[in-house]
Amino acid sequence: MNGTNFTAANFPQTDLNVYIEMGNSAIKGGDEMECLKWYSKGLSMARELKNHEKEQQFSSLIITMM
């Protein structure tokens, strides 16, 4: 990717499954805050795209972390 690092804040993606994958990857690496950022960004995108199924999924993932 030409040395470009993406964070949840500037990730240009509308495939909501990618946010789940990135969050899962972060938590596997032990970074709970980064995971929460990915899930929160996914929730925001799901709301923007009016994808109620994914809204529920991201909400559940976030609640599980708390």
Q: What is the pTM of this model?
A: 0.82
Q: What is the mean pLDDT of residues 34-50?
A: 96
Could you tell me the residue ranges of all domains in the chain? 15-65
The pLDDT mean for the chain works out to: 88
Confidence class of residue 13 from pLDDT cuts 50, 70 and 90?
A: confident
Confidence class of residue 4 from pLDDT cuts 50, 70 and 90?
A: very low
Q: How confident is the model over 56-65, as pLDDT tens digits?
A: 999 999 999 8
Amino acid occupying residue 50: K
Q: What is the pLDDT of residue 39?
A: 97
Query: Directed axis angle between helix 16-28 and helix 32-48, to 10°?
Result: 170
Distance CA 3, CA 59 (A): 32
